[in-house]
Structure 1
Amino acid sequence: MNAVIEAECPVCSSQMIAPTAIPACGHKFCFTCLKGVCMNGMGCPMCRGPIDPSIFSLPSQVLDLKMDVPLSPVVVQDKYKPIEKRDTSPSETPAPSALNLDASLLDDNLPEEKMYWLYRGKNQGWWRFDPRHERDIDKAYNNDEDHCEVTICGRTYVIDFNGQCQYPKGVPTQRREVKRVSSADFDTMGVKGLAGVFVPTS
């Protein structure tokens, strides 16, 4: 089994989600990135070696189904920069009244509840979108857009918020149900995997 997140993916330049190695050469990529390359008839992005399509059949990895969006290498580097000390002068000392604010006034600053986007698999059951696609989908949803488009494995899909479905762009008859759920609801739905990768529950 592979780890949840490894080094930077050469295709998307982010930390890998469900890192998958090409048997012939050993180069690793995100599962969805590598599958998209293969579906477009290309070889290994690093050495142009052959990709065995069988590695995409019923893949299984130990993953955190609720994992967050992996950080880009630049953000990861900035995250661990030392914090510079500030020279606090008397003028910067908070006024006493500022230290006694009613907690109810701070409610607007509370973090929003994490929501997840799921799609129904071909053989029924629910699967979670890649966290990066999920982020883009939720952004469009929160902007009150009717739909958005995401590229998954090299193919563009339309996420129809009004119809609560997804379909390949230009092929609206090939619909799959999608759903936006809370963390509590997520735990009750028996989610099978993440971005096409099956995650064993035991």
Structure 2
Amino acid sequence: MASSIEKEFDETAEQPSKDETLECPICLQTCLQPTLLPCGHVFCFLCTKGIAFQSKKCAMCRQEIPRDYLEKPKLLQPLPDTTTSLEDEYDWFYEGRDGWWKYDERTSAEIESAYLTEIPSFDILICGELYVIDFQNNVQHRKYGYGRKRTIKRDKKSAHAIGIAGCRF
């Protein structure tokens, strides 16, 4: 029996259950915000975003990713509800052109862990690119190459955001 990630894209195809754990073939970790590409392969949304920007093709079969896919990705699970949390729970956010975005839960946890060690900055892989998180200046920027600096902040999990890691609520 073929797994759902091996099946061709079909709205009627059996989707993974909420309890089924998917591993992303790009980052080799549990899929966060798993997205189903038209070719049927499943990756983390951030991994999909990374390959869409770099090669514009599926990392498994090389089928082209439609230009508008990132605007309306096929998420296999709804985005987590972040409006309710304990008062002492924090997440990390980055500023975009139209407001604050939450980092995905794995990236936010890595940033929080580094923050608690009180180091001034550290490097982290986001969307297939190496970034520097600079706690002294509250910014993130690409380690190599060009790109804008984004303001970052640590705030309550329930703080307003327009989405998570590029996926709008």
**TM-score in terms of structure 1 length:** 0.63
Q: Map of 1:1-202 to 2, 5 A cutoff?
A: 7-23=22-38, 25-41=39-55, 43-57=57-71, 59=73, 62-66=78-82, 113-123=88-98, 125-170=99-144, 174-183=148-157, 187=158, 189-199=159-169
Q: 1:34 Cα deviation (Å)?
A: 1.3
Q: 1:151 Cα deviation (Å)?
A: 1.7
Higher helix residue share: 1
SS in 1 for 2:59: coil
SS in 2 for 1:56: coil
- Distance in 2 (alpha carbons) for counterparts of 1:118 and 1:7: 25
8 A contact 1:8–1:15 mirrored in 2: yes
Q: 1:29 Cα deviation (Å)?
A: 1.0
1:48-91 CA distance string (max 9 Å, x none) = 2222232012658631144xxxxxxxxxxxxxxxxxxxxxxxxx
Q: Given residue 100 of structure 2, which amino acid in structure 1 is its aligned partner?
A: W
Q: Given residue 162 of structure 2, which amino acid in structure 1 is its aligned partner?
A: K
- Distance in 1 (alpha carbons) for counterparts of 2:90 and 2:68: 33
- Higher gyration radius (CA): 1
Q: CA RMSD in A?
A: 2.9
Equivalent residue, structure 1, for 2:12: none
Q: Given residue 51 of structure 1, which amino acid in structure 2 is its aligned partner?
A: I
Relative to 1, partners in 2 of residues 1:180 and 1:198: Cα closer, same or farther, differing over 3 Å? Answer: same
Equivalent residue, structure 2, for 1:109: none
Equivalent residue, structure 1, for 2:5: none
| Structure 2 unmatched runs, 5+ | 1-14, 83-87
SS in 1 for 2:31: strand
Relative to 1, partners in 2 of residues 1:46 and 1:58: Cα closer, same or farther, differing over 3 Å? Answer: closer
Q: Given residue 37 of structure 2, which amino acid in structure 1 is its aligned partner?
A: I
Relative to 1, partners in 2 of residues 1:60 and 1:126: Cα closer, same or farther, differing over 3 Å? Answer: farther
% same residue: 34
SS in 1 for 2:115: helix
Q: How many residues align?
A: 148
SS in 2 for 1:15: coil
Q: Given residue 30 of structure 2, which amino acid in structure 1 is its aligned partner?
A: Q
Q: 1:193 Cα deviation (Å)?
A: 0.8
Q: 1:120 Cα deviation (Å)?
A: 1.0
